[in-house]
Structure 1
């Protein structure tokens, strides 16, 4: 699904598990849809386990910490898995290619 936050001109794209927890999240800002986050809960957990959580957070961002059922004030649009994968792949490549 995706949601728009007009105060910051950011589109949020979410992949959810069966319980409504965010497993992957992309944030695109501004008219150029510049990727500012492309976080995976699984990758974040791996980074945390080896002591690199801060590095991961700084580079890729984090996923939402609450399940969707607890969100307020969002009007999500449903996406197909193909639509999410296209956004995810582009954002992840662009963020990963940035110099550290």
Structure 2
């Protein structure tokens, strides 16, 4: 799904599991849709276990801490898995290409 947060001019693209927990999250900011996050819950958990959480979050951000069923004030638009993957691949390429 995707939803827009107009206060910050950010599009959120979300992959969620059956219980509504976000498994992957993309954040695109501004009219240029600049990727500011492309985080995977599985990668975040691996980074936490390896003691590299700060590094992971600086590079890729993090996923939402609440299931989407508990969110207020969003109007989600369904996406196909192909649509999500296209945005995911583009955001990850752009984020990993940035100098660190």
**TM-score if structure 1 supplies the norm length?**
0.98
Q: Could you say what the CA RMSD is over the residues aligned between the two structures, in angstroms? A: 0.5
- 2: distance between equivalents of 1:36 and 1:19? 26
- 2: distance between equivalents of 1:14 and 1:58? 19
- 1: distance between equivalents of 2:3 and 2:78? 9
**Is 1:94 aligned to residue 94 of structure 2?**
yes
Partner residue of 1:80?
80
| Post-superposition offset of 1:10 | 0.6
- 1: distance between equivalents of 2:10 and 2:47? 26
SS at match of 1:79: coil
SS at match of 1:62: coil
- 1: distance between equivalents of 2:28 and 2:68? 19
**Is 1:24 aligned to residue 20 of structure 2?**
no
| Post-superposition offset of 1:97 | 1.1
**Is 1:5 aligned to residue 32 of structure 2?**
no
Partner residue of 1:50?
50
| Post-superposition offset of 1:69 | 1.0
| Post-superposition offset of 1:99 | 1.0
| Post-superposition offset of 1:51 | 0.3
**Count of equivalent residues:** 100
Unaligned residue ranges in structure 2 (runs of 5+): none
| Post-superposition offset of 1:93 | 0.7
Which 4+ runs in 1 deviate beyond 6 A? none
Unaligned residue ranges in structure 1 (runs of 5+): none
